[in-house]
Amino acid sequence: MTFDHLLNKVEEIFISYNGLIDLNQYKDKFFINRDLFGKISIVWDEDHLNENSQIKNALENICATIEATLGKHTYPKQRIILEREAPFQAEKEGAVIFKYGSQVRFTVIDRVLTESSWYHRDENFSISDKIVVFYSIKGGVGRSTALTAAAWNFAQKGKSVMVVDMDLESPGISSSLLPEDRCPTYGLLDWLVEDLVDNGTELVDSMFGLSPLAKNIHGNIFVIPAHGKEYGEYISKMGRAWMPQLRNGSRIPWPHRLRRVLLELDKKLHPDVILIDARSGLDEISSACVLGLAPKSVLLFALENMQTWSGYSMLFKYWNTVEVAKKIRESLQIVAAMILDGENKESYIKKLRESSWDCFVEHLYDSIPAEIDSENDFFTFDLLANEAPHSPWEIKWHQGISSLRQLYTLSESFDPVMIKAIFPFVDNLYEIFFGDE
C-alpha cells in the first residue's frame, strides 16, 4: 500500500460496509483527514456520534478494517476516529479540501506543508480581468521573450502595461527588461518579506521601473522586478517570502498577500493590462499566479514532447479531482513555443495540436452523451477548431532574438510587421483584452 492508493482503498472499505451503514447519508457529519505524513483518519461530528450508538459501533468495525488494510498509512483503530464539532471550520483552515469517491462520496481534508493554490480559484479579485499569466510546465520555452513581445505590442497600441516577474526562484525578465540604471530600489521579494512586519506599504513607490523597451511608442511598460538594484540577502528572504502574515489574530496566506501588493501597484500605476511571468513547473508560486489571481487568460507554453503533455495531464487531472477544472478551463490557451521554419514545421504543428486535443479531451472538455443533438451547452471543441483553447497559438524561433541577454534593446528593432511575423499570437491576446479596437 502506497500514498496513491489510499483514498481508493478507503472508498472500497466504505462500500463493503454499505449493508451496515450508508455513509452517503452522513456526508455532512464527517470527513477523511489526510495529515502531513499521509496518514488517514476519520473526523466525525462529536454530538452526532454520541447520540447514535449504532453508528458508533459500525465505525468501530470500519476502523478495524482501515487499520488492517492501510497499515502504516493510518493509526491504531482506537485513534482513527477523531471527534470534533461540525461544521469543522477550525479543521478546514489552511487545508486543501475536495470531494472524493463515486459510489460513496466523501470530503477529504488534505494537510499540506505549503500554502497551495492549485485547488482553489477565487473569483473575487477586482483586477482579474486585467491579468494574463505566462506559464509553462518546463523552462526554456521562450516564455519571457514572448511576454516581451506582447508587452511591446500592447504599448505600441497605446496601452499602459505592468509586467510582474513572479519567477522569484530564477528571476530573469526583470534584468532583461530593465537596464541597471532603471532598476528600482526594491522588488517583489522585498515587499513579501517586509509585509510580514507591516512594512510593505513603505516600499511600493520604489519597486517599479520604466522599461526602455517602450521608447518611441505610445504606451508605457512598468516592470515589477523580483529584486531591487541590490539583491541583498536574497536566499534568506526567499526562505521567508511564503510565510502567512499574522494580523490581529488572523492568518493571511501568502497568495492573499500577493493579491494585496498587486492591488496597491494597480492603484499606483493604473495599467490597462498586467502581464505576469510565472514560475515554470508545479510549485506554489505558479499556483498563486495561475489560480490564485483568477487571471482572465493563462497562456500554457508547450513543446511537442512527453514532458509537456504528461505535466499538463498531471495538473488537469488534479484540477478535476479538486473540482476546479470547470472554473479555469475557459481562460486557458495553448501556445506552441519556438517553432522552427522548415519542411517539418507543418508536421510538428499537426502533432502538437493532436497531443493538445487529446490532453484537453481527456481532462477538460465535456463528454457529450450520444442522445444529445446540440453541443451548445457543452464545453468541447473539434480537433481543427481554431478558436479552441487546445488549438496552438504559434511563436516562431528567431536566433537573433533568442540569443539576446537584454530584451529591452529590442526597442530599436521591433516593429509591427516583425512582431506579427515572429509572434503572431500577440494579436489574439490583444483581442481578448481589448476586442477589435
> Where exactly are the structural domains of the chain?
3-110, 128-365+378-435
The topology (CATH level 3) of 3-110 is: GMP Synthetase; Chain A, domain 3 (3.30.300)
- Omega before 271 within 30 of 0, i.e. cis: no
Question: For position 355, what pLDDT does the model report?
Answer: 98
Grid coordinates 489574530 are at which residue? 249
Identify whether the C-beta of residue 349 lies closer than 8 Å to the C-beta of residue 336.
Answer: yes
**Residues 93-125 pLDDT 10s:** 778 899 999 999 999 999 887 766 788 887 889
Whether 314 shows a pLDDT value over 90: the answer reads yes
Alpha-carbon distance of 295 to 103, in angstroms, equals 35
Whether 261 shows a pLDDT value over 90: the answer reads yes
Question: For position 358, what pLDDT does the model report?
Answer: 98
Which H or E run includes 184?
none
The answer to which of 259-273, 317-331, 355-369, 407-421 has the lowest mean pLDDT is 407-421
Give the pLDDT band (50/70/90) at residue 17.
Answer: very high
Q: Between 401 and 377, where is the model more confident?
A: 377
pLDDT, average across residues 7-12: 97
Question: For position 376, what pLDDT does the model report?
Answer: 66
pLDDT, average across residues 62-79: 95
pLDDT, average across residues 244-268: 90
Question: For position 173, what pLDDT does the model report?
Answer: 79
Average pLDDT, the chain: 89
Q: Where are the beta strands (DSSP E) in 87-204?
A: 96-100, 106-110, 131-136, 160-165
Whether 400 shows a pLDDT value over 60: the answer reads no
Q: Between 304 and 376, where is the model more confident?
A: 304
The answer to which of 278-287, 352-361, 399-408 has the lowest mean pLDDT is 399-408
Whether 302 shows a pLDDT value over 90: the answer reads yes
- Burial 367-405, CB ≥16 within 10 A → b, else e: eeeeeeeeeeeeeebeeeeeebbbbbbbbbebeebeeee
Percent over 70 (pLDDT), the chain: 93
pLDDT, average across residues 405-410: 56
Question: For position 399, what pLDDT does the model report?
Answer: 55
Question: For position 284, what pLDDT does the model report?
Answer: 84
Question: For position 405, what pLDDT does the model report?
Answer: 52
Give the pLDDT band (50/70/90) at residue 162.
Answer: very high
**Residue 413, Cβ neighbours under 10 Å: how many?**
10
Architecture of domain 128-365+378-435: 3-Layer(aba) Sandwich (3.40)
pLDDT, average across residues 141-149: 88
CA atoms within 13 Å, Cβ hemisphere of 81? 21
pLDDT, average across residues 402-423: 66
Whether 223 shows a pLDDT value over 90: the answer reads yes
Whether 408 shows a pLDDT value over 70: the answer reads no
**Residues 358-393 pLDDT 10s:** 999 999 999 877 666 656 678 999 999 999 999 999
The answer to which of 70-79, 247-256, 266-275, 389-398 has the lowest mean pLDDT is 247-256
- Burial 171-183, CB ≥16 within 10 A → b, else e: bbbbbbbbeeebb
Question: For position 161, what pLDDT does the model report?
Answer: 97
pLDDT, average across residues 175-193: 91
